[in-house]
Amino acid sequence: MELRLFPLHTVLFPGMALPLNVFEPRYLQLVDECTRDDEPFGVALIREGPEVGGFAVPYDVG
């Protein structure tokens, strides 16, 4: 199984709601594809790097 990731400087817990302001083309595409395919996406906590532009390094899971 593959899960698309949305990197943020935010910790979320299961069932928690978070309004997102999606404006970057790559994340607009992510949300559009997940909505179209009725698939979830994950929010990954960023260890370093920017949320906007460039590449972010997520924390390891597990």
CB 43 within 8 A of CB 6: yes
More confident residue, 33 or 15: 33
Domain range list for the chain? 1-11+22-51
Q: Residue 43: which pLDDT band, with cuts at 50, 70 and 90?
A: confident
Q: How many helices (H) and strands (E) in the chain?
A: 1, 3
pTM for the predicted model, two decimal places:
0.71
CB 56 within 8 A of CB 10: no
- 24-41 pLDDT tens trace: 899 999 999 999 999 999
User: Rounded to whole angstroms, how far apart are CA atoms 44 and 11?
Assistant: 8
Q: Residue 52: which pLDDT band, with cuts at 50, 70 and 90?
A: low
